[in-house]
Structure 1
């Protein structure tokens, strides 16, 4: 019995649906099973891409053309997709950089609060060491303040070693020679036991005093001569302003000691009594 054209089409569609529903033939593998499941799901949900356009943008659907020719629309889609990936990468970098600066701002704010609360130079130095080593992963921190004018000759070898540096307006990063390393850090080591090989030197100037805030690292590539010093310069300005608020370090005035209490053996002075005069009443 011959089948009509309509009956053949219906039979073909039914066979196709049955093949999708039944899954792949034996031996085709899990990939074919997954493809058949996706096809069956899309057939049952024809509006899926309308409600999920972000998935549609990721699909690669080449236009069928004779030979090796590529459709202009397909070429435009490829270019736009590449630009989209580039912009996504830039956006991810901006978000990561914004989070990094937000964290840095919070840590710097905590360090500034600790410096504001420090009443003297010793507490300022301790706040810098604790804040920079714990919050900013510094490996060695030292603050050297010289109560001298760098333009005037001074026999102190520490001042002589940094006299040229104290005239700078910006921080200096890079390796240290042995003399400056010993003058700044001495026998300081990082937690791993390695010596300091490079440092960031920040000039400090306040109320006729000058000095250097040194942040050392055992990694020779941590502080390079060509790195930006904007944040280091701002930290130096903060420390300089704090030192200007501190009173000059002078010996405190000597106050006379309180009088010692009199012992029981010493004679106590007898109080003088005032003589009373009798008042005469007029007759």
Structure 2
């Protein structure tokens, strides 16, 4: 008797991975043992009943098809949402381009953002304006801390309202649970000359994980339009 062979087998038993590797590398195994496929019984995920391998494969295929259908529907839904958002952005941009009175532009900008994108509260401040606009509400005193904070933002800030000074510009700061702070600047590396505040009672409306590409586009367009107020 070959005790060495028996000892090696005991010390290195065949594992499931060994079997899987063997079957993967021996594609003609089931051709030689076709009767095994008909004998294999698996547990159905839709109950405790046993099903054949072919039936289980059919169930898995149906599940994959269903998952693909859901993904396609999600893509269609997101595509539709993107078209709607692009249309609203175009309408907002058109309003900026056709505005004749620079004096009322900040309020028009905020009002149309609020109505087109259904943002509950919006506030805007612009500093270093031309002296002729100095008495407008949006050009009133802003602290150096807010100016420095706005300049420090390289991208819009999104998150919960932590009582930042700029939220005091809102009509109802207590109702602002989540906020987006959008700095306005003439050039990417230039100091901010204004700050746009978007606020919502929904804690998830402006969250730290959200993408800011759209808000950055808003910032670029708003900054370009409001440059008309500067000397």
Calculate the TM-score normalised by the size of structure 1: 0.53
- Aligned positions of 1:24-173 closer than 5 A: 70-147=51-128, 157-173=142-158
Where does structure 2 lack aligned partners over 5 or more consecutive residues? Answer: 1-37, 42-49, 130-140
Q: Distance in 2 between matches of 1:71 and 1:224?
A: 48
Checking the alignment, whether the CA contact within 8 Å between 1:173 and 1:225 is kept in structure 2 is yes
SS in 1 for 2:92: helix
- CA distance in 2 between partners of 1:66 and 1:99 (Å): 49
Question: CA offset at residue 82 of structure 1?
Answer: 1.0
Pick closer, same or farther for the CA change 1:230–1:197 going to 2, 3 Å: same
Higher RCO (CA-CA < 8 Å; seq separation 6+): 2
Alpha-carbon distance between aligned partners in 2 of 1:67 and 1:222, rounded to the nearest angstrom: 52
Other structure's SS at 1:137 match: coil
The TM-score with structure 2 as length reference comes to 0.64
Partner of 2:186: 206
1:12-52 C-alpha deviation (Å, 9 max, x unpaired): xxxxxxxxxxxxxxxxxxxxxxxxxxxxxxxxxxxxxxxxx
Gaps of 5+ in 1: 1-64, 149-155, 250-283
Q: 1:231 to 1:215 in 2, by over 3 A?
A: same
Instruction: Say which is worse superposed, 216-225 or 100-109, in terms of deviation.
Output: 216-225
How far apart, CA to CA, are the structure 2 residues paired with 1:122 and 1:159? 24
Q: How many aligned positions are there?
A: 171
1:197–1:218 Cα contact (<8 Å) kept: yes
Partner of 1:60: none
| Larger helix fraction of residues | 2
Contact 2:127 2:142 in 1 (8 A): no
Cα RMSD of the aligned pairs, angstroms, is 2.7
